[in-house]
Amino acid sequence: MALKSITEADLKGKKVLARFDFNVPLKNGQISDSSRIDLALPTIRFLLEQGISKLTLMSHLGRPKGKVNPDLSLEPVADYLANQLNEEVILTESAISNGVKELLTLKSTKIVLLENLRFHPEEEQNGNEFAKSLSDYGEIYVNDAFGAAHRKHASVYNINKYFPNRAYAGLLLKAEIDSLNKILHSPKKPFMAIIGGAKISDKIKTIEKLLVNVDKLFIGGAMAYPFLKAKGQSIGNSLCNEEDIKLAKNILKADKGKKLVLPIDHMIVEKFGAKPITSKNTDIEEGYMGIDIGPKTIAHYQDLLKSAKTILWNGPMGVFENPDYAKGTMSLCETIAGLDAFSLVGGGDSVSAVNKSGLAQKFSHVSTGGGASLEYIEKGELPGIQALKFGV
């Protein structure tokens, strides 16, 4: 069953309750990257243009662990939204209080933002009463929080109980799922995936699932060292642990040398922060650690990627936060951006690399949910999406 989009809903005059992912990074109380809010704006504008009567917005911010934490108030988000929409956005004192209902009865009230949902432990506990109380604020429920769709939390899961046939996907959520479905169900071949980052254990299930469907799977970042070690290569002092080597061994055994592509050289340093040099070959010299893929690897990956018609990318190729160690990640970013292929990038770090490169527009889809996109690839479904489609 397909997701019902807000474009199919009868919204005129309705009170709408909408869940977004406004979980933006804050620095000294200021939003340091507004991307998540910006990506929600089309849905908010669409709802307002349909002549709805009230719009109640909900989100979490950070990890207050069920307690009120003024540092994690949604106040900067309310200010930012008000500025962008050129409308008053009233931030409530708490997500749950009679005051909110009263506020919504006032003629002058149009847009309300509920204070951080995670100030209440019931949000993460998927509390039924909490979900019910939230549901009182709207006649129609909209979920546009892809980044939270893999969580079984009250505002994305149990809340669906109270909106039978009145629950819809926002524009962003719909676009995310449509793009992931393309990768999952009908990828144009050759389909190639690039998996990087730091830990195999976090992405093991995704790698196993992908190995069934892809034509090639490139490994980069610290993720590569357990594989190399498992193959008997030396990796010097590179980031690696025994558990990951075990996992890598199993993956290598299952792959039988067919699809996995591993680095053939590396950028290495003796000490973190030092200028990198190139390793002589696939082995990493004693006393050195790998911090990025090397130039031969970049060229090899670029060459193979040329023929790809579908590309999935998750995780950086090195410690890209340091510009000296970012060449692998940025080179692949430029390569993918220049290809005529359906390209999807997910995962906080790879997305921030793509944004840094200024090439985000050249990707077919830049996903807002790292964990959510990996879990969707692995399982083909997410709790929040399931609940939105079929109820709870």
The token pair at 329 is: 């990640």
Rounded Cα distance between 96 and 240, Å, is 46
Q: What angle is formed at CA 45 by the lines to CA 69 and CA 380, rounded to 5 degrees?
A: 75
User: Nearer to ligand AMP by C-beta: 80 or 320?
Assistant: 320
* CB-CB contact of 218 with 265 (8 Å): no
Only segment of 28-36, 128-136, 153-161, 192-200 that touches ligand AMP (CB under 6 A): 192-200
Phi, psi of 260 (to 5 degrees): -70, 135
The piece of 44-52, 304-312, 317-325, 373-381 that touches ligand AMP (CB under 6 A) is 317-325
Out of 127, 220, 348, 370, the active site residue is 348
Residue 151 annotated as catalytic: no
Which tokens go with 221?
């970042």
Distances (CA, A) of 120 to 16, 63, 64, 159, 322: 22, 11, 9, 15, 37
Tell me the closest approach of the beta carbon of residue 180 to ligand AMP, in angstroms.
Answer: 18
Name which of 239 and 261 has its Cβ closer to ligand AMP: 239
Q: Give how many residues touch ligand AMP by CB under 6 A.
A: 16
Site for ligand AMP in 214-233 (CB under 6 A): 221-222
| 36 among known catalytic residues | yes
Q: Which is nearest to 362 in space by CA: 391, 324, 320, 333?
A: 333
63 catalytic per annotation = no
By the rule CB under 6 A, 316 interacts with ligand AMP: yes
CA distance 66 to 267: 43
Where are any strands of DSSP class E within the chain?
A: 15-19, 26-27, 30-31, 54-58, 89-91, 111-113, 140-143, 167-169, 191-195, 216-219, 260-261, 266-269, 277-278, 289-293, 310-314, 342-346, 365-366
Question: What gap in Å lies between CA 357 and CA 126, rounded to an integer?
Answer: 38
Q: Which is nearer to ligand AMP, 40 or 333 (CB)?
A: 333
State which of residues 11, 100, 319, 344 lies at the interface with ligand AMP (CB under 6 A).
Answer: 319
Instruction: From 150-158, 196-204, 331-339, 361-369, give the range in contact with ligand AMP by CB under 6 A.
Output: 196-204
Stretch that binds ligand AMP, among 17-25, 37-45, 179-187, 193-201 (CB under 6 A): 193-201
Using Cβ positions, the residue closest to ligand AMP within the complex turns out to be: 197
d(CA 345, CA 315): 9
Catalytic residue among 4, 62, 209, 371: 371
User: Is residue 9 close enough to count as binding ligand AMP by CB under 6 A?
Assistant: no
CB-based contacts of 284, cutoff 8 Å, min separation 6 = 225, 228, 233, 234, 235, 236, 238, 266, 268, 290
Binding track over 334-353 against ligand AMP, x by CB under 6 A? -------------x-x----
Beta carbon of residue 359, minimum distance to ligand AMP (angstroms, whole number): 19
Residue 260 DSSP SS3: strand
- For residue 318, indicate whether it is catalytic: no
Query: Which entry of 4, 15, 161, 199 is annotated as an active-site residue?
Result: 199
Q: Is position 209 an interface residue for ligand AMP (rule: CB under 6 A)?
A: no
CB of 318 to ligand AMP, least distance (A): 5
Per-residue x/- track, 115-154, ligand AMP (CB under 6 A): ----------------------------------------
> Is residue 78 within 8 Å of 91, Cβ to Cβ?
yes
Minimum distance of ligand AMP from residue 197's CB (angstroms): 2
Mark the segment that binds ligand AMP (CB under 6 A) among 2-10, 16-24, 318-326, 330-338.
318-326
Q: Are strands 342-346 and 365-366 parallel, antiparallel or unpaired?
A: parallel
- Rule CB under 6 A: which residues touch ligand AMP? 197-199, 202, 221-222, 239, 290-291, 315-316, 318-319, 321, 347, 349
- Which residues belong to the active site? 36, 199, 348, 371
